[in-house]
């Protein structure tokens, strides 16, 4: 079953690429024929049955285009003046002023403890 699953998924994927259409033919408002096809045909069952009526038949075709599914999306990367104003407003309101930041004047870091062996690069091998 594990070997069969990738092939089934591949068949489903390729069936979507074929652009199948569901064609239904109506004659005088009644459904006469339905078919799943690649290229729908025009049915004309009303040629000799009804005299003087050219609009007795109707074909309804439902088709999905797979070209739209894999089309590269289009993006607009232009920077508008509204975006610049919004960014300036957000920076002004939500980011504190740099002069108000604490510059850590009360913080004293730990003193470096240097190891003499490392300082003179003397190692016992």
> pLDDT at position 97, please?
65
> pLDDT at position 98, please?
60
More confident residue, 83 or 116: 83
How long, in residues, is the chain?
125
DSSP characters over 33-61:
EEEEESSPPPP---TTTSSS-S-SEEEEE
CA 106: distance to chain centroid? 53
Q: Given a cut of 80, is residue 44 above it in pLDDT?
A: no
- What are the sequence ranges of the domains in the chain? 5-42+54-63
Q: Is 29 exposed, middle or buried (0-12, 13-18, 19+ CB in 10 A)?
A: exposed
């Amino acid at each position: 079953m594990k070997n069969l699953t990738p092939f089934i998924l591949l068949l489903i994927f390729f069936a979507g690429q074929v652009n199948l259409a569901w064609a239904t033919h109506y004659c005088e408002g009644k459904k006469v024929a339905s078919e799943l096809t690649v290229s729908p045909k025009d049915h004309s069952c009303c040629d000799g049955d009804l005299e003087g009526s050219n609009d007795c038949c109707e074909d309804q075709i439902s088709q999905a285009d797979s070209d739209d599914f894999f089309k590269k999306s289009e993006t607009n990367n232009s920077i508008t003046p509204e975006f610049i104003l919004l960014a300036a407003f957000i920076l002004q309101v939500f980011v504190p002023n740099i002069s108000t930041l604490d510059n850590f004047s009360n913080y004293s870091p730990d003193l470096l403890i240097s190891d003499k062996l490392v300082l003179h690069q003397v190692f016992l091998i």
